[in-house]
């Protein structure tokens, strides 16, 4: 049960693609479900370290700590839901390649413990993201993809610069060893490395100041694809940013700066969603907002808050994927993605899906978002961070404003197009809605997992303080 | 830290890197932007390899007669391997980017970055 | 039969004795109260209306007799038709009279209500009020002074005390058809709705 | 997440909500009403702060989805934003409390242990939730709009029950305050009184029926809030008593208005009138309702107010009592307007046919009318329950002699004597009036009114009495109140937030190269700053 | 025993009511320089109206309205004790207190309003609206004064109020409160500055437009008893209550004469003027009186 399976199997599937050209979606569904099963089975043997030795000094190590296990399970789960949803449609080669490469890149980011290895998966996930953005093959898709590539390339430049500086100064690539020797480096160079890392990963985790490109990309790509982006892509980079921050013992003032940036992301994104008319951009802003919230929680470096953040990651991924898949359904049936489409379709089930998704995003009981928001607020109150609490509470009022404006569309409009869902789609959305409700009413088991993951993530950081 | 780096190479590579970034920011044509990015990347490679290379040592290639890696008179092979993979990745990214630019040009008839107005709120 | 004012007085007094003997104490008490509290409808119909305010002021002070002006016909007992009466006014007068509750009395001031007075040949006044409404007490004089008006009230009090059967309201009720015919002849289509049902089952 | 515990207070409030929702259950949105009842059950039987909050929010959004069937989008937005604003304030308070108390269970919440600033901030946050829910004067626009635009039966539920959730929250969370830290409750008392005065005058000048009833609910809740802020056994009893009465009265009035709307299809005073002799039973029920609403001694409405007055007297709050009595006296004007506008006066000449009145509207009205009359006869009937709740909340027990005698620190009165005296005297006078010499004759028809000798023609609208309250606009002090509009403040705020959002959104419309320039600039600034 | 007591109180109230009403007409006549009717003229008027042959009615609500109004007046009389000690002429006041009586005074106008509303005459409703608007402003100073009295007495029961005034009348103890209460008492009595409700010319005698025959009689007799009840209330609250019947007559007479003379001197305020006046000076007096409690 080596960790490499997570990386190799999807790549192998891409390689053997010509053999099953017509059943691509079935293959990717089976593949992602298998990986999901695999992830669940190796829960017991945590933490799993695997060293792939080419020649003794040159070795690539993969580590599956409880945090990365949680994320890998989340990624494989969202991937299987995504491909289940696509079973109905005709097989699309680019989509198959893109999604599987994205899965590999994202899992690689989370697993690898070697800085250069991270760079490779950084590039793999980026390339697959560029490909997926341009799936619609029209001017809008290509425009979005090109913009994404330019900014992605800019980010990889800085990441490359930081790797080179690290290697030039301490000559080692393994994260553990970098962590030990990091404070040997000269003060300015440390700051330069951290800064370039922050810029590179900041662009990828879509923090404030560096995330102005995100709404365009979400608007350009298909809704289902943007669902994948918000469920997997930004989450993995978020984990990476804070994993490196904790490993390299970033100073408290820099952590405070991160908190400020995260708070700004949350507030600015939610505010700018208020008057937007484009549904995909609204959900993009909402994703940015939630990322800001997760970053805010992670930036305090406190186990309770990190536990809440991880729980929020999972809940947000589920809710946002559901919303985007439902939006994709609508987009395929009605064509446009203006926010008026909410007034032009007639399907009780789909309305329920949007309502459950919106309420969970907002953190309204009895859905999962509430448990996340409550533990977040409890953690903040424990740290007496009352400013952050006030910010979260007031800005989520803005969030409520635009989400309920969307929901109120159901009552407006006259001649509505009846949208019928296939039993499979009803099953997928039903499962996801039930999961959100279940997590809302009984969050304890998942919270315990997140607690354990939080301790694993912050173990080193607390030891050093 | 700057004393251990080779001053001349660092200066040249940073200069090239600056020019490349300037190109990315100023140039309007998408082709030129992607070319500027690959120039910037190669500037970084130059910086990295230049500063790491100690003159007089052999390249770490298993030629005839040398079967085992010997740090005494062989250069550290790791950066070489890294840069090689990065070059490959760089080429892959620019290939994908340029093919998209061509497709975009076929669809919209222009390649100017400041005229890309399909996305945004007004539509 | 003697003529003149005194003769009329004697006939009234003798009639009073004869009626008093026939009525029970209760009816006499009722008549007494009706006489001692008379509500006049504050409705000046003609030129004589100017004579009524002085009667209420301190010089003549009719309130001593228990006379009070009220605004609505519902509360009023007495309607004073003061002077000439054009058909337009007569329509309102009839409506108000019909809305007053029994027993109700009408005092006609001046000769215009008797035979048209100086407007005898005018095209727009009615010549004889009695054709349209049963008048109980006439006070003559081309606009009688307040003393005459008070004299009229005193006489009316005595008549009310008699509780005699040919009071105006009974006459109106009994031969309503006659009055109604006159009214319809005068007003034609604009006659007010008839008040027929109100008299059913009253006597 | 959900912990429950049966308390007397919970039984009282849940009993009331059960009565209201079951009485108004209809087929078309019955499911949502049951969900609402479930969420109310969660609130009233919650034993942990989180459960309380879950019930609170579910009540909020289930109400939203019922309201969304009939209301406009702007009203829905106003409803949900105010409710969520209150709920998030409550969530902040819960988080704060948890950080000091360490546990979420209600039983070990002890406000005396909190430091002063924490006590004030927790109380302030909870008060925001209470004020928003009961529609205190600044935050009352959503109440008025949603009552007006909800379906008549749902506005009955809204006014009878949902507004009481705030009261329950106050009793559960804030009642056990340390004595000297009550600066907030002084403000709250005055806020309640001022709300009742302003809402009463606004109610008088309304033309739509449901808006009038909405303002009247706001005013009545102002009394309850003033009563609660006195922190005293009899004041708590007054608050609870008035809550019960207000629920019954509003149920009666709203269902009555719903019946009228079902019959005539109109909902403004100017379009109604003269229905007295067509639906006499509805008229009698409405008269019972307004007698209780105005707080006149005969029916139960007076008992709650009597206890409030005596509590205020005992606390020597003369000016506060004067304000409350002033507003409850002027409440009589809108009570009469409600009766006159719909039933009395001349019916406008349009002879649109009346639909038959649905039987199911009568049951809730008869039920609450019977209860009000019972409470009129036996005013002290619920006192043992209220005193038990008071003891449970930490106050001293209340004095209770007989169910018919309601006693208070400032004197008692016997409801049975009052009612039977009224009955006996009424019958005596009726008998006298029948025996009297003068016989009553019915007027001929609607035109047979004393109208200065004129005969009112059919087209003349004689029902202009409905405009009762416009003359208040000419009285200086009241005109000042009527001109104050908190709606303008909220709309201005909405405008600012909208502009800010458009401004910030323009950040996301930057060109690619501008974005790169910005990040490069950020990089260099941070670099120079850091070195 | 209580029944006889109540019946006696009603008789007294009826008698004194009409006596004072006749007195009022006589006194204001004397002020106008004329003799005025006999003292019992109002009694004669009401009896004459009772014995009228015919009185128009507009349905059962119109019939019930005046009855509720009369019941309200009668209840007021019964619930206010005539004598401030002992158990004679106490009526039912033992089972009620001042606050109940205050709010019972609103019951009469409700009956009147319902009756007037049901007959459909627009003038009637204009009168009622004027009455209710004026009622708002009337009750403010009166409540301020009553609150002062209750706080000073420490309870709302009449016995406690009498006991608090045993040494010194409230009139002397709290002159400001008395003044505020007296001004609004004028309004309650419907005396001249504040008699805009039933103005004959403007609103066709206001609420009483459609009252004919026995209904108008009932209206007159209940307003007589109601004004006597209010006189009684003022006496109990501010003049220390009546020790015996003679003291009762004296005090009510003094108070009544003062009200009559003020009434017959002032012209009529319009609704807006009376509301704005009552909300200024008397309310100010009341608030200052309360402050000095």
Give the residue extent of every domain in chain D: 1-181, 191-433, 486-530
Query: CA of E236: how far to CAs of A180, E80, E150, in Å?
Result: 94, 8, 12
Structure tokens at B9: 């190479």
- Contact list in E for residue C71 (CB cut-off 8 A) is 200-201, 204-205, 209
CA distance A334 to A315: 28
Of D50, D95, D527, the CB nearest to A381: D95
Helix (H), strand (E) at residue C187: helix C176-187
Confidence band for B66, pLDDT divided at 50, 70 and 90: low
Cα–Cα–Cα angle for B67, B73, B78, rounded to 5 degrees: 75
Q: List all residues of chain A from 93 to 132 with a beta carbon under 8 Å from chain B.
A: 116, 119-120, 123, 126-127, 130-131
* Chain D nearest-CA residue for B33: D513
The mean-pLDDT minimum among A304-318, D127-141, D430-444 falls in D430-444
Of E95, E99, E286, the CB nearest to D417: E95
Query: CA of A86: how far to CAs of A11, A23, A137, A315, in Å?
Result: 20, 11, 18, 22
CB D412, CB D406: distance < 8 Å: yes
Of B48, B118, B120, the CB nearest to A139: B118
In this prediction, residue A356 carries a pLDDT of: 94
pLDDT(D353) > 80: no
Q: How far is CA A354 from the centre of its chain?
A: 20
Distance from CA of D462 to the nearest CA of A (A): 40
* Chain D nearest-CA residue for B116: D511
Neighbours of C178 (CB within 10 A): 13
* Helix, strand, coil shares, percent, chain D, to 5: 70, 5, 25
- For residue D411, give the 3-state DSSP assignment: strand
- Contact list in C for residue E47 (CB cut-off 8 A) is 33, 37
Distance from CA of D440 to the nearest CA of C (A): 10
Distance from CA of E221 to the nearest CA of C (A): 15
Neighbours of A406 (CB within 10 A): 20
Structure tokens at A142: 């290509």
> Cβ contact (<8 Å) for C99 and D441?
no
> Cβ contact (<8 Å) for C43 and D453?
yes
How much of chain D, in percent, has pLDDT values that exceed 90?
42
Give residue-wise pLDDT tens across range D425-483. Answer: 999 999 998 888 778 888 877 778 888 888 887 777 788 777 888 888 888 888 888 88
CB A221, CB A95: distance < 8 Å: no
- Contact list in D for residue A147 (CB cut-off 8 A) is 512
What does pLDDT average to in each consecutive run of 10 residues of chain E (293 residues)?
88 91 88 87 90 86 92 92 83 86 89 88 86 87 92 88 87 91 88 78 79 88 91 90 88 90 85 88 92 87
Query: CA of C149: how far to CAs of C32, C143, C152, E34, E190, in Å?
Result: 20, 9, 5, 18, 32
Per-residue pLDDT tens digits of chain C, which is 203 residues long: 566 777 777 776 777 677 667 778 888 888 889 899 999 998 888 888 888 888 888 888 888 888 988 888 888 999 999 888 998 899 899 989 988 888 899 999 888 888 888 888 888 888 888 889 999 889 888 888 899 999 999 989 988 888 777 788 888 888 888 988 998 888 888 877 777 766 655 54
In this prediction, residue E120 carries a pLDDT of: 81
CA distance A443 to A77: 18
CA distance A346 to E163: 76
DSSP 8-state assignment for residue C4: S
A-interface mutation test, from B35, B71, B119, most A Cβ less than 10 A away: B119
Structure tokens at E204: 């066709």
DSSP 8-state assignment for residue C64: G
> Cβ contact (<8 Å) for D505 and B21?
no
Structure tokens at A412: 């407006």
Instruction: Judge A/E contact: 3 or more CB pairs < 8 A.
Output: no
Strands (E), A297-437: 345-346, 417-418
Q: List all residues of chain C from 148 to 167 with a beta carbon under 8 Å from chain E.
A: none
DSSP 8-state assignment for residue E56: E
CA distance D436 to C30: 12
> Cβ contact (<8 Å) for B1 and A140?
no
* Chain E nearest-CA residue for D478: E276
Name the residue ranges covered by the structural domains of chain C: 23-196
Q: Is B111 on the interface with D (CB under 8 A)?
A: no
Which candidate, A423, A429, A399, A176, places its Cα nearest to that of A326? A429
How much of chain A, in percent, has pLDDT values that exceed 70?
98
In this prediction, residue A55 carries a pLDDT of: 65
The position carrying tokens 């009230």 is: C153
Interface chains of chain C (3 or more CB pairs under 8 Å) = D, E
Which candidate, A128, D296, A245, places its Cα nearest to that of E114? D296
Radius of gyration of chain A (CA): 21
How large is the ipTM? 0.88
Q: Backbone phi, then psi, for C106, in 5-degree steps?
A: -120, 130
CA distance D262 to D259: 5
Give residue-wise pLDDT tens across range D303-343. Answer: 999 999 999 998 888 889 999 999 988 898 999 999 998 88
C-interface mutation test, from E52, E127, E205, E217, most C Cβ less than 10 A away: E52
* Chain E nearest-CA residue for D419: E75
- Contact list in E for residue D305 (CB cut-off 8 A) is 103
Distance from CA of C115 to the nearest CA of E (A): 32
Neighbours of D500 (CB within 10 A): 16
* Chain A nearest-CA residue for D525: A195
In this prediction, residues B88-107 reach a mean pLDDT of: 93
> Cβ contact (<8 Å) for E129 and D468?
yes
A-interface mutation test, from B9, B79, B89, most A Cβ less than 10 A away: B89
Neighbours of A335 (CB within 10 A): 10
Q: List all residues of chain E from 102 to 131 with a beta carbon under 8 Å from chain C.
A: none
In this prediction, residue D452 carries a pLDDT of: 83
- For residue D72, give the 3-state DSSP assignment: coil
- Contact list in B for residue A285 (CB cut-off 8 A) is none
> Cβ contact (<8 Å) for C92 and D438?
no
Distance from CA of A14 to the nearest CA of D (A): 32
In this prediction, residue C199 carries a pLDDT of: 63
Burial class of residue A21 (count of CB atoms within 10 Å of its CB; 0-12, 13-18, 19+): exposed
* Chain A nearest-CA residue for B109: A139
In this prediction, residue D402 carries a pLDDT of: 86
Neighbours of D117 (CB within 10 A): 8
Q: Is D306 on the interface with E (CB under 8 A)?
A: yes
Distance from CA of C163 to the nearest CA of D (A): 16
In this prediction, residue E95 carries a pLDDT of: 85
CB C134, CB C107: distance < 8 Å: no
Neighbours of E201 (CB within 10 A): 8
pTM of the model: 0.91
Domains of chain B: 7-59+70-115 (1.10.287.3510)
> Cβ contact (<8 Å) for E99 and D446?
no
* Chain D nearest-CA residue for C26: D437
Neighbours of E60 (CB within 10 A): 12
Domain boundaries, position E125: 2-291
Instruction: Judge B/A contact: 3 or more CB pairs < 8 A.
Output: yes
Number of domains chain E is built from: 1
* Chains C, D: CB pairs < 8 Å: 29
Fold for the domain defined by C23-196:
Rossmann fold (3.40.50)
Q: List all residues of chain E from 206 to 235 with a beta carbon under 8 Å from chain C.
A: 208-213, 216
Which candidate, D290, D322, D329, D481, places its Cα nearest to that of E134? D329
D-interface mutation test, from E65, E80, E117, E159, most D Cβ less than 10 A away: E117
> Cβ contact (<8 Å) for B30 and A146?
yes
- Contact list in A for residue D50 (CB cut-off 8 A) is 374
Name the residue ranges covered by the structural domains of chain A: 4-464
Instruction: Judge B/C contact: 3 or more CB pairs < 8 A.
Output: no
Distance from CA of A278 to the nearest CA of B (A): 7
- Contact list in D for residue C96 (CB cut-off 8 A) is 450, 453
- For residue D441, give the 3-state DSSP assignment: strand
Please count the residues of chain A. 465
Of C92, C193, C198, the CB nearest to D441: C198
> Cβ contact (<8 Å) for E99 and D477?
no
Give residue-wise pLDDT tens across range A378-397. Answer: 999 989 889 999 999 999 99
> Cβ contact (<8 Å) for C198 and D453?
no
């Amino acid at each position: 049960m080596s960790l490499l399976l997570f990386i190799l199997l999807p790549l192998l599937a891409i390689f053997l693609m010509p053999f099953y050209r017509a059943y691509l979606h079935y293959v990717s569904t089976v593949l992602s479900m298998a990986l999901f099963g695999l992830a669940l089975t190796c829960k017991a043997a945590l933490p799993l370290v695997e060293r792939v030795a080419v020649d003794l000094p040159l070795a690539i190590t993969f580590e599956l700590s409880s945090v990365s296990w949680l994320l890998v399970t989340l990624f494989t789960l969202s991937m299987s839901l995504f491909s289940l949803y696509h079973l109905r449609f005709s097989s699309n080669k680019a989509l198959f390649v893109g999604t599987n490469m994205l899965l590999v890149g994202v899992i690689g980011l989370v697993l690898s413990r070697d800085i250069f290895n991270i760079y490779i998966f950084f590039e793999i996930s980026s390339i697959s993201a560029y490909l997926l953005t341009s799936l619609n093959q029209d001017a809008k898709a290509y425009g979005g993809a090109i913009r994404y590539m330019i900014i992605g390339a800019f980010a990889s430049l800085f990441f490359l610069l930081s790797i080179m500086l690290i290697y030039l100064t301490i000559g080692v690539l393994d994260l553990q060893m970098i962590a030990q020797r990091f404070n040997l480096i000269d003060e300015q160079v440390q700051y330069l490395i951290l800064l370039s890392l922050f810029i590179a990963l900041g662009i990828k985790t879509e923090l404030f100041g560096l995330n102005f490109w995100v709404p365009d990309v979400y608007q350009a790509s298909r809704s289902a694809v943007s669902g994948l982006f918000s469920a997997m892509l930004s989450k993995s980079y978020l984990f990476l940013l804070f994993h490196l921050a904790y490993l390299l013992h970033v100073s408290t003032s820099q952590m405070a700066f991160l908190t400020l940036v995260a708070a700004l992301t949350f507030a600015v994104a939610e505010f700018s969603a208020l008057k937007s008319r484009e549904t995909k951009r609204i959900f993009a802003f909402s994703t940015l907002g939630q990322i800001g919230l997760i970053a805010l929680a992670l930036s305090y470096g406190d186990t309770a808050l990190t536990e809440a953040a991880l729980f929020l990651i999972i809940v947000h991924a589920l809710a946002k994927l559901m919303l985007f898949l439902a939006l994709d359904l609508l987009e395929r049936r009605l064509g446009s993605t203006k926010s008026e489409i909410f007034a032009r379709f007639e399907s009780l089930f789909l309305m329920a899906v949007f309502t459950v998704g919106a309420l969970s995003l907002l953190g309204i009981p009895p859905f999962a978002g509430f448990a996340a928001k409550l533990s977040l607020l409890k953690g903040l109150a424990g740290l007496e961070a009352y400013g952050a609490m006030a910010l979260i509470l007031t800005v989520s009022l803005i969030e409520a404003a635009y989400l309920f404006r969307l929901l109120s569309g159901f009552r407006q409009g006259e001649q509505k197009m009846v949208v019928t869902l296939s039993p499979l789609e009803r099953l997928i959305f039903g499962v996801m809605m039930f999961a959100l409700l279940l997590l809302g009413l009984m969050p304890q088991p998942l919270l315990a997992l997140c607690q354990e993951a939080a301790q694993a993530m912050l173990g080193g950081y607390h030891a050093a303080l | 830290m700057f004393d251990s780096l080779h001053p001349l190479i660092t200066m040249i590579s940073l200069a090239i890197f600056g020019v490349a970034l300037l190109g990315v920011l100023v140039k309007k044509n998408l082709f030129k932007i992607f070319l500027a990015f690959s120039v910037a990347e190669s500037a970084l490679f130059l910086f990295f390899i230049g500063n790491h290379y100690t003159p007089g040592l052999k390249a770490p290639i298993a030629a005839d007669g040398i079967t085992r890696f010997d740090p005494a008179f062989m250069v550290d092979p790791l950066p070489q391997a890294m840069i090689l993979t990065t070059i490959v990745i760089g080429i892959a990214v620019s290939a994908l980017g340029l093919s998209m630019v061509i497709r975009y040009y076929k669809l919209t008839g222009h390649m100017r970055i400041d005229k890309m107005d399909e996305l945004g709120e007004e539509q | 039969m003697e003529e003149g004012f005194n003769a009329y007085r004697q006939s009234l007094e003798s009639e009073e004795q004869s009626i008093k003997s026939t009525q029970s104490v209760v009816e006499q008490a009722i008549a007494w109260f009706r006489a001692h509290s008379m509500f006049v409808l504050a409705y000046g119909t003609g030129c004589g209306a100017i004579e009524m305010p002085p009667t209420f002021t301190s010089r003549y002070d009719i309130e001593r007799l228990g006379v009070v002006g009220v605004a609505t016909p519902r509360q009023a007992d007495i309607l004073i038709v003061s002077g000439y009466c054009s058909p337009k006014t007569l329509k309102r007068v009839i409506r108000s009279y019909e809305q007053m509750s029994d027993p109700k009395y009408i005092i006609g001031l001046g000769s215009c209500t008797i035979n048209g007075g100086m407007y005898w040949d005018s095209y727009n006044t009615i010549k004889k009020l009695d054709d349209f409404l049963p008048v109980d007490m006439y006070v003559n004089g081309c606009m009688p002074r307040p003393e005459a008006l008070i004299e009229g009230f005193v006489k009316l009090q005595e008549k009310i005390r008699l509780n005699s059967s040919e009071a105006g309201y009974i006459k109106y009720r009994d031969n309503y058809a006659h009055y109604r015919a006159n009214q319809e002849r005068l007003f034609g289509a604009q006659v007010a709705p008839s008040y027929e049902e109100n008299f059913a089952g009253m006597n | 997440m959900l912990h429950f515990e049966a308390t007397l207070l919970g039984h009282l409030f849940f009993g009331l909500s059960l009565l209201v929702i079951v009485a108004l259950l209809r087929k078309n949105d019955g499911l949502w009403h049951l969900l609402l009842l479930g969420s109310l059950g969660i609130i009233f039987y919650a034993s942990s702060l989180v459960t309380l909050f879950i019930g609170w929010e579910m009540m909020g959004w289930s109400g939203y989805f019922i309201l969304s069937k009939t209301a406009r989008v702007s009203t829905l937005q106003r409803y949900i934003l105010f409710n969520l604003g209150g709920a998030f304030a409550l969530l902040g308070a819960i988080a704060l409390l948890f950080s000091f108390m360490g546990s979420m269970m209600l039983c070990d919440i002890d406000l005396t242990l909190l430091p002063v600033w924490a006590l004030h901030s927790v109380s302030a946050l909870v008060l925001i939730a209470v004020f928003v829910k009961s529609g205190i004067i600044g935050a009352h626009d959503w109440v008025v709009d949603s009552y007006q635009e909800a379906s008549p039966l749902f506005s009955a539920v809204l006014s009878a029950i949902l507004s009481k959730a705030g009261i329950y929250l106050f009793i559960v969370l804030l009642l056990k305050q340390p004595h000297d830290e009550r600066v907030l409750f002084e403000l709250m008392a005055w806020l309640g009184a001022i709300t009742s005065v302003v809402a009463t005058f606004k109610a008088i000048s309304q033309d739509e029926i449901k808006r009038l009833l909405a303002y009247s609910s706001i005013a009545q809740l102002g009394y309850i809030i003033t009563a609660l802020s006195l922190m005293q056994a009899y004041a708590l009893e007054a608050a609870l008593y008035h809550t019960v009465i207000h629920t019954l009265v509003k149920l009666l009035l709203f269902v009555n208005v719903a019946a009228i709307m079902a019959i005539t299809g109109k909902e403004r005073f100017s379009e109604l009138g003269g229905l007295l002799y067509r639906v006499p039973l509805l008229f009698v029920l409405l008269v019972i309702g307004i007698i209780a609403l105005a707080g006149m001694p005969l029916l139960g409405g007076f008992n709650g107010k009597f206890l409030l007055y005596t509590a205020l007297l005992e606390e020597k709050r003369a000016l506060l009592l004067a304000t409350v009595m002033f507003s409850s006296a002027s409440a009589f004007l809108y009570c009469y307007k409600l009766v006159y506008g719909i039933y009395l006066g001349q019916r406008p000449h349009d002879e649109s046919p009346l639909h038959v009145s649905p039987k199911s509207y009568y049951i809730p009205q008869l039920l609450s009318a019977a209860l009000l009359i019972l409470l009129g006869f036996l005013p002290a009937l619920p006192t043992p329950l209220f005193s038990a709740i008071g003891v449970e909340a930490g106050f001293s027990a209340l004095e209770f002699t007989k169910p018919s005698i309601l006693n208070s620190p400032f004197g008692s009165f016997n409801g049975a004597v009052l009612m039977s005296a009224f009955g006996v005297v009424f019958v005596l006078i009726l008998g006298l009036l029948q025996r009297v010499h003068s016989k009553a004759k019915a007027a001929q028809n609607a035109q047979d009114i004393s109208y200065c000798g004129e005969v009112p023609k059919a087209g003349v609208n004689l029902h202009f009495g409905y405009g009762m309250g416009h003359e208040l606009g000419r009285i200086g002090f009241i005109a000042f109140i009527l001109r104050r509009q908190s709606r303008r403040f909220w709309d201005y705020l909405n405008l600012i937030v909208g502009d800010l959002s458009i401004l910030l959104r323009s950040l996301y419309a930057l060109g690619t190269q501008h974005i790169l320039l910005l990040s490069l600039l950020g990089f260099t600034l941070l670099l120079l700053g850091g070195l | 025993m209580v029944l006889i007591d109540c019946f006696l109180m009603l008789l007294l109230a009826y008698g004194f009511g009409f006596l004072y009403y006749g007195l009022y007409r006589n006194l204001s006549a004397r002020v106008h320089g004329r003799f005025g009717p006999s003292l019992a003229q109002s009694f004669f008027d009401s009896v004459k109206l009772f014995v009228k042959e015919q009185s128009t009615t507009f349905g059962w609500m119109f019939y019930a309205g005046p009855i509720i109004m009369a019941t309200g007046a009668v209840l007021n009389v019964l619930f206010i004790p005539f004598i401030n000690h002992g158990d004679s002429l106490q009526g039912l006041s033992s089972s009620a207190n001042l606050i109940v009586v205050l709010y019972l005074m609103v019951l009469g106008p409700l009956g009147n309003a319902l009756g007037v509303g049901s007959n459909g005459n627009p003038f009637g409703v204009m009168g009622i609206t004027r009455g209710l608007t004026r009622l708002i402003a009337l009750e403010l100073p009166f409540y301020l004064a009553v609150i002062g009295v209750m706080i000073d007495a420490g309870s709302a029961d009449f016995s406690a109020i009498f006991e608090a005034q045993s040494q010194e009348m409230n009139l002397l103890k709290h002159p400001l409160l008395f003044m505020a209460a007296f001004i609004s008492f004028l309004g309650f009595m419907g005396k001249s500055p504040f008699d805009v409700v039933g103005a004959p010319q403007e609103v066709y005698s206001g609420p009483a437009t459609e009252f004919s025959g026995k209904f108008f009689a009932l209206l007159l007799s209940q307003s007589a008893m109601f004004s006597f009840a209010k006189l009684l209330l003022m006496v109990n609250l501010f003049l220390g209550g009546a020790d015996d019947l003679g003291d009762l007559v004296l005090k009510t007479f003094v108070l009544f004469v003062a009200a009559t003379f003020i009434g017959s001197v002032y012209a009529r305020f319009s609704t807006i003027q009376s509301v704005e006046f009552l909300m200024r000076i008397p309310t100010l007096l009341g608030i200052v009186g309360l402050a000095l409690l």
